[in-house]
Structure formats: structure tokens, C-alpha cells
Amino acid sequence: MGENEDGEIIEHHVNEEMEKRHLTRRAGSFSEGAKRHSSTQSSHRLLAYSDALISIIATVMILPVAHTKIQENEELKESLQQLLTTKIAVYLMTFLIVTVAWAAHIRLFQVIERIDDCLALLNLACMMLITFLPYTFSLMAAFPENILGILFFCGCVVVIGLIQAVIVLYGFSQPFLLNDQIQVSENLAFYKKHILKVILRVPVFCFVAIIFSLIFPPMAYVILAFVIFFPYISQSLKWCHSKAVGRQVETPESMLFYSYHPNEPLSKERVEAFSDGVYAIVATLLILDICEDNVPDPAEVQHKFNSSLVVALQEFGPEFLAYFGSFATVGLLWFVHHSLFMHVTKSTRLMGILNTFSLAFVGGLPLAYQLTHEFTRNSHNELEAIQISCVIIFFAGIFQLAIWVVALFSQRETLHPCVHYGGQDHAFMLAKLALYPAVALGTFFITCVLSEFSAPVFHLTQIVVPVAFLLLRLLVRVALAVLHWLFCPHRPTMLDLQGYDPALCP
């Protein structure tokens, strides 16, 4: 049976290939441009490189937060307040805006599927401006009354918008670069108009914001917030309108792209590439610092530590512990994400948003781990740092779980059958996704009660969780068997009924 299914999946691939070929031919027959024009290329690698750049930029603003020195005598709460006010806000805002820019980039290159040299160079120019955005936020945060930060920001966004418009115009002037569906559609002009309208909305609003920033700066911030949330507002208004009038306003088929509907498809490949980038940067953030700062000074070792390098390195013990702890946690969260997206067949915009929230918390993890080892044993600060770590892990995990829950609502389209309700791997996937939130919540409450054992408990979880992941399949089967034996001992087990067949799963 498994083999059969395998065969079917591949058959499907073959059909897809044939369909593509058919489309290519159809497209080729009417687009004479392809003949005349320079060599076109698949955009796959350009997008992978863009994803790598954007994921670095999205996480970069955690560095100033992580490098804020916390004094030992100061209470953690006070320094946290100082952090919270500006640096963390800048980090979160950068993460939000950069992921919005990334989503716009995905939309654009879902329409333009093939590139040539000219588009590749335009995209690089666009990337250069996107990587400059975090700096404008730092300026805005450091000088809230000065309009220079917002001017820089709006200027960048206007130019990015214009470059994107040029990319669209260029793409539509040479239709063989476009998505196959658009390429063969009748109303190419309608598409072009709709997409240009959506893209140019942002630079126009930003231009208005520039004008307002010269007259009445607060209004400029309001306009910028409006630009970001405009698609969501208009979607909600449409939804309310459809409820009030009573009939469903269906998104027409022609609006497949740039519809801003929560079910709008979001290239799964790019969500994975972006997440991989963020997880990789975050996992290595601490080793970057360690390599630069924690190599002891030869002169100091000679005088202070009596030439004993081992003793000198023991000073840095907490940093190493923090590194291995955060690498393991980020690595395992990546592992959960990887397992989840292995079973996702189509990702939607809503799932993308939840993924962004999860990643934003993951970005804070190295910082939290560094804090847990920076304070004296059993101090109040240490307890709070450990609890903050638990909270961050909890939210990073719970948003991953939320992606799956959202996907389950339209499971036929978005999930592989074996993790559907009643699917053979449903319980296993739930266990994988729930393990980290459950452990984090448990650790949080245990440290509340047994505050003097908080550090040992925290370290214990760091050792137990990887082992739990290794044995998870076994544990889930035992748990299911026990539940079955407790509640309905006379019926055959779920597993027997389904004829457990892992070959069905990807």
C-alpha cells in the first residue's frame, strides 16, 4: 500500500512536469520575446540568497540588546526596563518590518518566476536598501524628536517600492518571465494594473508621510503604521461587510496573487529558507561573541592566573554553558519546525505570520540564556533570568503549535494525510510540538515553587529534552497504549486498526 502511494506521488510529479511542459509550450508559442531576449533563468537561487540576506537583517538588532552590559549589583528588573523601552522595541519593530518587506518580496517573485541578469541586479539594489532599514530604526529610537530617522526610512521604502514597480513593469513587458498561470491568462493588463496598484500604494503613503514629517511628525508615524496594517484592516472590513450584507464576497480566481487573504498561498520553500536562516544565525550568535571576546589575554593569564590557561578558561565557563544550552534549544526548535513543515503541503499567509512570531521569540533566546549564567548562584536575578528563558521558549514553541492548529482547520489543503485528525502520526506530531511548551511551562512553575533549586532544574531540563526527542516515538506509543488500556481495553487499538504504515508519511 505504501509503495502504491509512493508510486502515486511520483506519478503526480510526472504529471506536473508534463503540465509544466505543456504550459511552457503554450507560453512559448505566443511570447515571441523569449526568442529575441537574453538568457532567462529560474529564480530559485536568487530567492535563496535574498532569504539569507533578509534573515540576517531581521535578527541583527538583537545584537545591541545582547551586548547591553548588566551590572551585578543592579536589579535585573531595572536594567530590563531600560532594555525594554528602546532596544527590544527596536529589535521587534525591525523584525516586524523586515518580515513585511520579505512577504512583499515573496509576493513579487510568486508573480515573476523567471529572472534575467537585469532583474537579478535590480533585486540586489532592492536588497541593499532593505539591509539599511534596521539602522533607520536605531536612529528613530535614539532620536525620537528628530525627523531624520523617519526621513531615511521613508526614503528607503519609496525607492524599494519604485524598484519593485520597475521589476513588475519589466516582467510584464516580457511575459515569459511571469508565473505560468498569469502568462496564459486573458487579462494580463488587469493583473498588471492590480499588482502595480498594490505595490505603489506603499511608496505613495510613505511620500505623504515624508511631507507630514516636515509639518507634523507624529502624523507620519500614524501613516506608517496604517501602511503596515492596511491590508489587514481592509480584509477585516470586507469580512464585516460580507457578514452585514449577508452574502459571501468571494475573492475571484484572478486575484490569486496580492489578495492579502489569510489563505493566500505563501511559498513554502521560502518560509523554510527564511526560517533556516534565522535559526542558523540565532544558534551561532553566542559563539560569535565567544570567539571575539572570550579568548583570554596572554599577559593577563600570566599575571592573574599564574600562567594556568585552564583556570583562566574556567572564568568563561558560564559563557560556554550558555552557548551549548542555547545552541541545543535553538537546534531542537529548528528540528520541531523541520518536522512540522515536512508535513505541510501548502503554507498560507496566516501560517507565515505565526511563524514570524515564533521566530521573533527564538531570536531572544541566546540573550535569555546568557542572562541565566551571568548572575551569582541562587540570586533573585538568576531566578528571574531562568523564568524569562522559560517564557521565551514557551512562546516560541506555542506559536509553532499554533501553525499546526491553523493548518488543521483546512487540513485537506495544507497538511499531509498522516497528520490529519485520526492520521497515524497525529499524536506523534502533537507530542513533538507540545514537548517544548510543556517542559517550559513545567520548569517555570517548578522554579516558582522550588526557587532555590531553579538552576539545577533548568540544567536538568536541558539534558532531558534532547533525550526525550530521541525516544519520543517510543514514549508516544507507550502513552497511547496506556490510554487505550485504561479507557477502552476491549476494542482493538487505534494503531492496529490503522495498520501502522510509516511508508505513507514523507
Residues numbered 335-354 forming contacts with its own copies, rule: CB under 8 A: 335, 338-339, 341-342
- Binding its own copies (rule: CB under 8 A), the pick from 211, 255, 328, 406 is 328
Give the Cβ contact number of residue 313 at 10 Å.
Answer: 16
Instruction: Rank residues 92 and 313 by Cβ distance to its own copies and give the closer one.
Output: 313
Report the 10 Å Cβ neighbour count for 400.
Answer: 27
How far apart, in whole angstroms, are the C-alpha atoms of residue 295 and residue 278?
26
Residue from 30, 190, 229, 324 binding its own copies (CB under 8 A): 324
Interface pick for its own copies out of 295, 405, 448, 497 (rule CB under 8 A) = 295
DSSP state of 502: G
Radius of gyration of the chain (CA): 26
For its own copies, the closer of residues 87 and 192 by Cβ is 87
Is 203 an interacting residue with respect to its own copies (CB under 8 A)? no
Give the CA dihedral 169, 175, 176, 182, nearest 10 degrees: 110
Quick one: which of 41, 79, 345, 493 contacts its own copies (CB under 8 A)?
41
96 touches its own copies by CB under 8 A:
no
Phi-psi region of 378 (alpha: psi -120 to 50; beta: other; left: phi over 0): left
> Binding to its own copies (CB under 8 A): which residues in 119-138?
120-121, 124, 127-128, 131-132, 134-135, 138
Q: What is the DSSP string of 85-149?
A: IIIIHHHHHHHHHHHHHHHHHHHHHHHB-EE-HHHHHHHHHHHHHHTTHHHHHHHHHH-TT-SHH
In the complex with its own copies, the residue whose CB is nearer, 336 or 383, is: 336
Of the residues 5, 34, 321, 480, which one makes contact with its own copies according to CB under 8 A: 34
DSSP H helices in 410-453: 411-414, 426-449
85, 126 contact by CB (below 8 A): no
Least Å distance, CB 367 to its own copies, is 14
CB of 453 to its own copies, least distance (A): 27
Q: How far is the CB of 368 from its own copies (least distance, A)?
A: 18
| Partners of 265 in beta bridges | 348
CB of 234 to its own copies, least distance (A): 33
Distance CA(351)–CA(356), nearest Å, equals 9
| Consecutive H or E run containing 329 | helix 317-342
Beta carbon of residue 229, minimum distance to its own copies (angstroms, whole number) = 25
Work out which of 290, 446, 475, 480 binds its own copies, going by CB under 8 A.
290
Which one of 60, 340, 354, 359 is in contact with its own copies (CB under 8 A)? 60
User: Which member of 235, 251, 263, 284 binds its own copies (CB under 8 A)?
Assistant: 284
Part of the chain binding its own copies (CB under 8 A), chosen from 30-38, 75-83, 215-223, 256-264: 30-38
Of 56, 255, 430, 495, the one binding its own copies (CB under 8 A) is 56
Binding to its own copies (CB under 8 A): which residues in 425-484? 425, 466, 469-470, 472-473
Judge whether 326 and 369 are in contact, CB under 8 Å: yes
Quick check: 166 binds its own copies (CB under 8 A)? no
226 near its own copies (CB under 8 A): no
Interaction residues for its own copies, span 248-277 (CB under 8 A): 272-273, 276-277
Helix axes 148-173, 188-215, angle to 10 degrees: 170
In whole angstroms, give the CA distance from residue 432 to residue 477: 13
Question: Is 173 or 236 the residue whose CB approaches its own copies more closely?
Answer: 173
The 139-158 site mask, x for binding its own copies (CB under 8 A), equals: x--xx--x-x----------
Quote the least distance from Cβ 497 to its own copies, whole Å. 17
Among 74, 117, 452, 496, binds its own copies (CB under 8 A): 117
Q: Which stretch binds its own copies (CB under 8 A): 39-47, 187-195, 211-219, 357-365?
A: 39-47
Query: Among residues 203, 196, 105, 200, which one has the least CA distance to residue 153?
Result: 203
Please report, to the nearest 10 degrees, the dihedral formed by the alpha carbons of residues 46, 108, 281, 155 taken in order.
110
- Burial of 275 per CB tally in 10 Å (0-12, 13-18, 19+): buried
CB 261 within 8 A of CB 291: no
Side chain identity at residue 206, one-letter code: C
Name which position in 28, 317, 422, 456 contacts its own copies (CB under 8 A): 28
Q: How many residues in the shown chain lie near its own copies by CB under 8 A?
A: 100
